[in-house]
Amino acid sequence: MTTANPGMDADVFEQFHEQLKRYVRERLIPAEAQVIAEDKIPDDILAEMREMGLFGLTMPVEYGGAGMNITQYVETIHTLSYALPAYRSITSINLGMVCSAIKLNGTEEQKSEWLPRLAAGEIASFGLTEPGSGSDSAGLQTTAVRSGNGYVLNGTKRYITNSPFAKVALIMARTNKESLPKNAHVSAFIVPMDTPGITVGKSDKKMGQGGSHIADIIMEDVYVPGEALLGGEEGKGFAVAMQSLDNGRLSVGAAATAYAKRALDTAVRYANERKAFGEPIANFQLIQAMLADSQAEIYAAQCMMRDAIAKADAGQKVLMEAASFKMFASEMCGRVTDRCVQIHGGAGYLAEYEAERFFRDSRIYRIYEGTTQIMQLVIAKQMLRNFAAGVEG
């Protein structure tokens, strides 16, 4: 068990949280149409987000961050994610994955160099997925071959969030040709994106999540010095990735839960405004059943979230809780956004209304940071390990 993180002062966090709620509703939501039309977050909003410290929430105070604990961080992501997913996407890789990896595994020199830059808003990417491997790290093909005091990286990373405008990427690569026990053939490298030999592919066109970008990172004979090896030790990359993914899964679960609430609020509003047979459709019991089911599922996800983050801040391992929450919340969000379309009827299929966008945006939550099927495997394997060890619960 690790030492619990007290996080930001409770009163200061509450003030920040209230400010963020207003910012989401008064600034970010009104700008959504522009973000979607231009497929990018406007520079002035990005500057505001940096000024608010949204890129440095989880960075330690001594490195220029806010020093939030996991509970405060996930609650912040939950609040931010009521708005368009692109706003969370631009910050989340910094906060939940790259920061976590460097903070927990980096050398003092790596922390001093990179955490202040990430906190100030330099955008990061997390390079694990490849054309031939996602959750299967044994199939990872990117190589890092020793060359003098450094390494030469070759390979392609796929579907990498924020890569078109990232300043740095945390790249997972093979430092051993053979697949070793506990994936000890995988190491992690901190790679500036302007390093010679790196090419970023064209942004992929996606089903939803306008304003958020993913693309390939292609590495051809990319030389990095030995100091780029995270923690200065080979073979720790898989453990770093899995450790970071717990935070990523909590973030995705929080985002899915908040976006489901946004869809439900929109459905309730529409059901009260739309009339049929001379009265609002909200008066019809089958509409009420869809609203009630959605509310109950959102409440369940919120309870799961708060249980998981409380355990994480108490220093407990939350691999199973994070996977369970991510799985349930992402599937739940899909059901709620589907009901939102159904409540809108024909209007729900039109781009003029938000319902169809919620439906498209939410689909990815069941895929990234581990598909629902991978979450099932993670949960079941942990259950079996617990049984073998005589651990209950």
What is the b/e burial string over 234-254, where b = at least 16 CB atoms within 10 angstroms of the residue's CB?
bbbbbbbbebbbbbbbbbbbb
Q: Which of 209, 235, 261 is the last residue of a domain?
A: 235
Q: Are 216 and 258 in the same domain?
A: no
Q: Residue 38: inside a domain, yes or no? A: yes
Q: Tell me: the pLDDT tens digits for 341-372? A: 999 999 999 999 999 999 999 999 999 888 99
Q: How far is CA 60 from the centre of its chain?
A: 19
Q: Residue 319: inside a domain, yes or no? A: yes
Q: Are 270 and 370 in the same domain?
A: yes
Nearby residues of 293 by Cβ (< 8 Å), 6 or more positions away = 335, 339
The mean pLDDT value of the chain amounts to: 93
Of residues 234, 297, 321, 369, which has the active-site annotation? 369
Q: Residue 55: inside a domain, yes or no? A: yes
Q: Are 270 and 347 in the same domain?
A: yes
Report which of 79, 73, 69, 83 is spatially closest to residue 5, judged by C-alpha positions: 69
Q: Are 166 and 110 in the same domain?
A: no
Q: Are 231 and 189 in the same domain?
A: yes
Ordered mean pLDDT values, 10 residues apiece, the chain (393 residues): 74 96 98 96 96 93 93 96 96 87 93 95 93 76 95 96 95 88 88 97 94 96 97 88 82 97 98 96 98 98 97 93 97 98 97 97 94 96 94 76
Q: Residue 62: inside a domain, yes or no? A: yes
Q: Which of 91, 122, 153 is the last residue of a domain?
A: 122
How many structural domains is the chain composed of? Answer: 3
Report which of 180, 277, 273, 198 is spatially closest to residue 234, judged by C-alpha positions: 180
Domain around 320: 239-388
Q: Residue 261: inside a domain, yes or no? A: yes
Q: Are 172 and 246 in the same domain?
A: no
Q: Are 382 and 244 in the same domain?
A: yes
Q: Tell me: the pLDDT tens digits for 219-266? A: 999 999 999 999 999 998 888 877 777 888 999 999 999 999 999 999
Q: What is the DSSP letter of 386?
A: H
Q: Are 247 and 382 in the same domain?
A: yes
Q: Residue 5: inside a domain, yes or no? A: no
CATH number, domain of 165, equals 2.40.110.10
Note the pTM of the prediction, 2 decimals. 0.92
CATH number, domain of 304, equals 1.20.140.10
Instruction: Confirm whether 227 is a catalytic residue.
Output: no
CATH number, domain of 98, equals 1.10.540.10
**Pairing relationship of beta strands 279-280 and 198-200 according to DSSP bridges:** unpaired
Q: Which of 196, 216, 235 is the last residue of a domain?
A: 235
Q: Tell me how crowded residue 94 is: count the other CB atoms within 10 A of its CB.
A: 30
Q: Are 253 and 360 in the same domain?
A: yes
